[in-house]
Amino acid sequence: MIEKTVEIINNAGLHTRPAATIVKIAAKFKSEFFIYKDGMNINGKSIIGVMTLAAEKGSTLVLSFDGEDEQEACDAIIDYFNRGFDEL
């Protein structure tokens, strides 16, 4: 299992478009993917789950990957966060 901490760096936060993209990226992998924020633990492959995070700029999230392709899934999702959801 891999856990990584990320910070939301784009001004609009984790809104609908990046949430949908995160779910789309995560769906390409077999590994389980969960996001932890403020005591909430949601399935990162669920658009409703990701949207309930209401993560604004500066929010810190813990991403958890578990499965046979966890490293590849982690790399793809972390890269998307680090690119500011392609909005910077």
Asked if residues 78 and 6 have their Cβ atoms less than 8 Å apart, the reply is yes
Asked if residues 20 and 47 have their Cβ atoms less than 8 Å apart, the reply is yes
In the set 2, 15, 34, 49, the catalytic residue is: 15
- Residue 15 bears catalytic tag: yes
Helical segments of the chain, H only: 16-27, 47-51, 70-82
Residues annotated as catalytic are 15
